[in-house]
Amino acid sequence: MKRPQTCPRCSGPLRPDAAGLKTLTPCPACRTPILVLDFPALYTSPSAPPARPVPAMEGAATCFYHEKHTAEAPCCHCGRYLCAVCAVYLGGKVYCTACLERFDEQVRAGKDQDPDNILMGAQRWNYTTLVLLGVLVLGFLALPIIAFLIAFFLSFSGAPI
C-alpha cells in the first residue's frame, strides 16, 4: 500500500501526483521546492526471497567481508570474493560495496560519470594519442640503429669517424 509522501522540511503532505511530475514542486504548506522520486519497489512484495548466504564448507572460497559465507562471485574491479549478501549486480557486472562507494565519491565530485573509467582506473586513449606515443617509442628505438648504420657506412668510405 502506498503511503502519502511528506515534505522533509515541515512534514506536511505533498500532492498525490508529486512523484509523477519529475520537476521541482513546491510543498503546499511551506512552499519549499521538492523533487519527489518514487521507488515503486517499496510498495510491492518481492517476487523472490532476499539473498541468503550459504555457510562456507572447509576449503571453499569465502566472502572477503564474511569469512563464514561461501563466495558466490568476484567483484569485477578489485577481484574480492563476495557472498550472496555482498554482491551488487549492476549493468551485468558484480561489484563490491567498496568499489561502488569509490564510484559514488567520484560522481559526487563531478569527476566522471562512467563507472568503467572510475572503477577500473581506465584512461580513454584516443587514436591521435596512441599514434604519437607509437612514433615517440619507435623514434627512441630507432636512434641507436640509425647511429650504428651511419658509423658502419662511414667506415667503408674511408672517412674518419
Q: Residue ranges of the domains in the chain?
A: 1-45, 52-124, 126-161
Model pLDDT, residue 122: 44
Model pLDDT, residue 39: 55
Q: What pTM was computed for the model? A: 0.41
Model pLDDT, residue 123: 47
Average pLDDT of adjacent 10-residue blocks, the chain of 161 residues: 74 80 83 74 54 78 89 88 88 85 77 55 59 82 84 73 56
Which residues are registered as beta bridge partners of 90?
A: 93
Q: In the 3-class helix/strand/coil scheme, how is 100-161 assigned residue by residue?
A: HHHHHHHHHCCCCCCHHHHHCCCCCCCHHHHHHHHHHHHHHHHHHHHHHHHHHHHHHHCCCC
Model pLDDT, residue 3: 62
Model pLDDT, residue 30: 92
Model pLDDT, residue 158: 65
